[in-house]
Amino acid sequence: MFGNIFSSMMSDSVKQEVPEQWIKCPKCSALMYYKEVEAKQNVCPKCNHHFRISAEKRIDSIVDEGSFVEHDQSLAPVDPLKFSDKKPYKKRLEEAKAKTGKTSSVMSGSCTIGANPIEIVVFDFSFMGGSLGSVEGEKIVRAIGRAIEKECGFIIVSASGGARMQESTYSLLQMSKTSAALNRLHQKGLPFISILTDPTMGGVSASFAMLGDIIMAEPGALIGFAGQRVIKQTVGVDLPEGFQRSEFLLEHGLIDMIVDRADMHDTLSGLFKLFKKEKTMMPEKEVIEEDITQEEGTEEEMLEVVSEDTPKEDSEV
Ligand SMILES: [Zn+2]
């Protein structure tokens, strides 16, 4: 019976009339009614395969209900290079906007998770493969700025093919721009959790995605820099089983944990509570170092400062 339904789904005319009523799991090939999958946050109930989801669905699954307030949604890319490959970049942007209703591959905003205030940036793979361009970089940096201002935690959920080639160097610059902003966050002692979802590749994995104080991934996500075919051609050997998947990366120490989508909210909530506790028990050392740079004292004066008990109220951390 299912065979018939599936073959009829394959014909375009039927597909348009009945859009995605039945979903075939790419991992276990089970055919399921879409509501069954949706009810499980777009995770296959048979084999736990995590389907790709939109930024909106991702936000719904992570943040406290009704707490998300979007920022910078009016930022839209320009085409400074007047770039054209098979199509002009401008046309690609128009098509992506028509398809997704967005002008960027990220959504950014303020929210709470387990009542902890958080700034969050979420990639949407359906907008130009979640590619990182000037607008995405700017949105990330602005979100980090808000986290610093509010002294709260920061999250990026990545789903990206990498840098946006149509913006060339402008796109590559976003790697250093976002990394530098994350360093400012780090200097303030504020936590950054990076969540890697399927896929996290190229310039995204080579910059902020791998700079998390905690790096977590969804099960089975493809995570890497270059694609497997390119690596295989370059090194000339067969790649090991499961190469560039979350489980392989966890085993080899590149990420800290794999978290099921259903557990993501509670895991994040628990971690931010822990960070909050850590913050109140923050060792004096970091606080003192900051005071020293501000005071620009002599070495002797600095030593005096170190030996003193710096009151907590003075802390900017
Ligand atoms: Zn499955």
Q: Which residues contact 180 (CB under 8 A, 6 or more apart)?
A: none
pLDDT above 60 (res 10): no
Please list the residue range(s) of the chain that carry CATH number 3.90.226.10.
53-280
Burial level of 119, CB count in 10 A (0-12/13-18/19+)?
buried
Burial level of 103, CB count in 10 A (0-12/13-18/19+)?
middle
**DSSP strand pairing (116-123 vs 257-258):** unpaired
Look at residue 19 in the predicted model and tell me its pLDDT.
Answer: 55
pLDDT above 60 (res 311): no
Q: Which CATH number fits domain 53-280: 3.90.226.10, 3.30.1330.40, 3.40.50.300, 3.90.1200.10?
A: 3.90.226.10
CA 50 to ligand 1 centroid distance, Å: 9
CA 250 to ligand 1 centroid distance, Å: 22
Selected residue with higher pLDDT from 278 and 251: 251
CA 77 to ligand 1 centroid distance, Å: 37
CA 58 to ligand 1 centroid distance, Å: 20
Of 63, 31, 61, give the one whose Cα is nearest residue 46: 31
Give the E-state strand segments of 188-278 in sequence order: 192-200, 214-217, 257-258
CA 18 to ligand 1 centroid distance, Å: 22
pLDDT above 50 (res 120): yes
- Please give the average per-residue pLDDT across 296-307, as a whole number: 40
Residue type, 76: A
Look at residue 277 in the predicted model and tell me its pLDDT.
Answer: 78
CA 25 to ligand 1 centroid distance, Å: 5
Count of CA atoms in the C-beta half-sphere (13 A) of 132: 34
CA 218 to ligand 1 centroid distance, Å: 15
Where does the pLDDT of residue 282 fall: very low under 50, low under 70, confident under 90, or very high at 90 and above?
low
Look at residue 244 in the predicted model and tell me its pLDDT.
Answer: 96
Residue 25 three-state SS: coil
Where does the pLDDT of residue 286 fall: very low under 50, low under 70, confident under 90, or very high at 90 and above?
low
Where does the pLDDT of residue 302 fall: very low under 50, low under 70, confident under 90, or very high at 90 and above?
very low
CA 184 to ligand 1 centroid distance, Å: 42
Residues lying with their CB under 5 A of ligand 1, a single-atom ion: 25, 27-28, 30, 44, 46-47, 49
Of 180, 115, 193, give the one whose Cα is nearest residue 145: 180
Q: List, for residues 83-108, the tens digit of each pLDDT value.
A: 999 999 999 999 999 999 999 999 99
Selected residue with higher pLDDT from 187 and 12: 187
CA 158 to ligand 1 centroid distance, Å: 22
- Whole-model pTM: value is 0.82
Of 111, 155, 153, 154, give the one whose Cα is nearest residue 277: 153
Selected residue with higher pLDDT from 8 and 183: 183
- Distance, in Å, from the CA atom of 235 to the CA atom of 9, rounded to the nearest integer, reads 41
Of 63, 199, 70, give the one whose Cα is nearest residue 126: 199
Measured over the CA atoms of residue 191, residue 186, residue 66 and residue 101, the dihedral's sign is negative
- Distance, in Å, from the CA atom of 48 to the CA atom of 25, rounded to the nearest integer, reads 10
CA 308 to ligand 1 centroid distance, Å: 60
Q: List, for residues 20-79, the tens digit of each pLDDT value.
A: 789 999 999 999 999 999 999 999 999 999 999 999 999 999 999 999 999 999 999 999
Look at residue 276 in the predicted model and tell me its pLDDT.
Answer: 87
CA 230 to ligand 1 centroid distance, Å: 28
pLDDT above 60 (res 285): no
Look at residue 60 in the predicted model and tell me its pLDDT.
Answer: 97
Where does the pLDDT of residue 12 fall: very low under 50, low under 70, confident under 90, or very high at 90 and above?
very low
CA 56 to ligand 1 centroid distance, Å: 23
CA 32 to ligand 1 centroid distance, Å: 9
Q: List, for residues 128-137, the tens digit of each pLDDT value.
A: 999 999 999 9
CA 19 to ligand 1 centroid distance, Å: 20
CA 47 to ligand 1 centroid distance, Å: 4
CA 40 to ligand 1 centroid distance, Å: 12
